[in-house]
Structure 1
Amino acid sequence: MSTAIYSHPDCQRHDMGDWHPESPARLQAIADQLIGSHISDLLDHREAPLVDPADLARNHSANAIAIVRDNVPAEGETYPIDGDTSLNAWSWRAAQRAAGAAVAATDAVIDGEIDNAFCSVRPPGHHARPVEPMGFCLFNNVAIAAKHALDVRGLQRVAIVDFDVHHGNGTEEAFRHEPRALMVSFFQHPLYPYCEPQPITDHQVNVPVPAYTKGDVVRRIVTEQWLPALHAFQPEMIFISAGFDAHREDDIGGMGLVEDDYAWITQQMMDVARLYARGRIVSCLEGGYNLSALGRSVVAHLKALAEL
């Protein structure tokens, strides 16, 4: 297997404050664990480009883009978007790199340059609505990449898999009326963003779970609800919103997953991708705020993607 990892130093320059859990240290923790686990040299490291403005506009309104682009503060200052989302001097550039990584990975996978990819980028994306940034997220990286695959590259069906502890409300909204995209997820409820769960449909299987849910329950959800939907849909490509804050050591959420659970979920998606999608998977970092647990979980995820 050829697995690429996309990142860029600009993604570490976006900083919402020393107090903020969505910190630059997250990407460094991942890089350190990849080196410590001796798999970094086995991956194809690629630089995240800036996103094409047309790809941003495919998922986000002009106003949503302007909120980020036009409010970048001076060096050393911050601009608050909401109570837990803000901009610094590097945020616009970092957001362009994060979305650009997802699109570049999508093109590389479709073109057969690589089998799959992980985008080690920030800011994360799955809360970003088509009309506004929110919840640590500026632009919805996975949604942008999935729409690029459909509308630019001509794929007919894509699946989006979200295993973050929080509900991927922005992604759900972006594809609620898009039959070419299947979204499957689980998320702790109630928890931010405190949206009422939507009814499960043929192309949205988003499953709320209570706090303290552990891996055995999640594996049943994947086996009994996600996999039947994925097999019925037969996606031509799979996108993963890879949040690792459902880990038992992560205080942001209250679930009980461990590294083996992330590896197992990833393996199930690999199996589906082999059947219908020529193995094509692009995964993008979402949450995960305990630095040690985050690094270890990403290693488990990447080992499954790269079959190491």
Structure 2
Amino acid sequence: MTTAFYTHSDCLEHRTPPGHPEQVARLQYINDALSSEAFDKLDRRKAPLCNDDDILLCHPQSHLDTIFAAEPFKGSRALDADTHMSVGSVQAARRAVGANIAAVDAVLDREVQNAFVACRPPGHHAEQSTPMGFCLFGNAAIAARHAIERHGLERVAIVDFDVHHGNGTQALLWNETRALFVSSHQNPLWPGTGMAEETGGHGHIHNLPLPPHSDGRLMRATYDAQVWPVIDRYEPQLIIVSAGFDAHEADPLAQLNWSTEDFAWLTQKICGLAADHCEGRVVSTLEGGYDLSALAAATAAHVSVLMENGA
């Protein structure tokens, strides 16, 4: 068994305006970081294109129509103050969804032990009919619904450690009884959701707001007390990770002060729970992370632990 790594050059064609934090260079830095000899054993796979039916697992047809119609013929177009599309954005977004679908298939079919998806645009802020926060489609939520509806899983856990609340994943899975969603995030911070009292339609959503300027010690204590026991009791058949690296101390968009080692610790804990409950099956997908060097280092640490557990 091994770790699959999904990406595609089409995801470099989703271009945001100059100075935008969700930039092409994010993926370039990740690819460079994972090109060293230490990552030679990665099972490198091209992200496939998804079908409309894949996106429709979470979004209505009207949302697809809106996104497809919004892609400009040249330059870029702002969907809101933060979220932009360019020529090639739809193709890139289809690759991001398709890679997550393929990663779930590969892990559940026992082709690989676990997988990391490095595609953009990210996904965890996209709501049913609202693109936002750099996101067009709910990649992680779609992956979960794919595992549930097409593979027949009854318990899928999603762990979102991006510094921003995964409001889109929460909204898309609000009434999904077969998914557990756990999100740690800085509060106060955009998008302003993710309070502890937001527990979903069936008490299956767990939000852990963390104060600005806290660090990895508080994060680890919080996860030890409030996350790992919940997942342990849930006994997931698959764990999906929304892997945002913007809680890093170097990140310019937030004020949590996690270290690269904190991300490795989180990954090891997740893999340990997966080993206990679902034969080590983990699918991780890239979300945020906007200091390029910190993003590269944290991603490399994350993937290294996945590889150690996938060997």
What pairs with 1:269-288 in structure 2 (closer than 5 Å)? Answer: 269-288=270-289
Which residue does 1:206 correspond to in 2? 207
Q: Report the secondary structure of 2:40's partner residue.
A: helix
Q: How much does 1:296 deviate?
A: 0.3
Residues 1:164 and 2:162 are matched in the alignment = yes
Which residue does 1:110 correspond to in 2? 108
Matched-pair identity in %: 45
Residues 1:97 and 2:95 are matched in the alignment = yes
Q: How much does 1:67 deviate?
A: 2.0
Cα distance in 2 for partners of 1:277, 1:130 equals 29
Cα distance in 1 for partners of 2:165, 2:29 equals 24
4+ long deviations beyond 3 Å: none
Which residue does 1:15 correspond to in 2? 15
Of 169-178 and 111-120, the range deviating more from structure 2: 169-178
What's the TM-score once normalised by structure 1's chain length?
0.97
Unaligned runs of 5+ in 1: none
Q: Report the secondary structure of 1:152's partner residue.
A: helix
Unaligned runs of 5+ in 2: none
What pairs with 1:17-56 in structure 2 (closer than 5 Å)? Answer: 17-36=17-36, 38-56=37-55
Which residue does 1:151 correspond to in 2? 149
Q: RMSD of aligned C-alpha atoms?
A: 1.2
What pairs with 1:68-87 in structure 2 (closer than 5 Å)? Answer: 68-75=67-74, 77-87=75-85
Cα distance in 1 for partners of 2:193, 2:281 equals 31
Q: How much does 1:250 deviate?
A: 0.4
Q: Is the 8 A contact 2:245 2:298 kept in 1?
A: yes
Cα distance in 1 for partners of 2:133, 2:185 equals 15
Cα distance in 1 for partners of 2:14, 2:21 equals 13
Q: How much does 1:65 deviate?
A: 1.4
Which residue does 1:242 correspond to in 2? 243
Query: Residue type of the partner of 2:18?
Result: D
Q: How much does 1:35 deviate?
A: 2.3
After superposition, the Cα gap between the structure-2 partners of 1:196 and 1:180, relative to the gap in structure 1 and judged at 3 Å, is closer
Query: Residue type of the partner of 2:65?
Result: A
Which residue does 2:171 correspond to in 1? 173
Which residue does 1:4 correspond to in 2? 4
Of 2-11 and 65-74, the range deviating more from structure 2: 65-74
What's the TM-score once normalised by structure 2's chain length?
0.96
Cα distance in 2 for partners of 1:52, 1:280 equals 24
Residues 1:226 and 2:227 are matched in the alignment = yes
Which residue does 1:197 correspond to in 2? 195
Cα distance in 2 for partners of 1:199, 1:220 equals 20
Q: Report the secondary structure of 1:160's partner residue.
A: strand
Q: How much does 1:198 deviate?
A: 4.7
Aligned residues: 306
1:240-266 Cα offsets, whole Å, 9 max, x none, are 000000000001111100111000001
Q: How much does 1:205 deviate?
A: 1.3
Q: Report the secondary structure of 1:51's partner residue.
A: coil
Q: Is the 8 A contact 2:196 2:209 kept in 1?
A: no
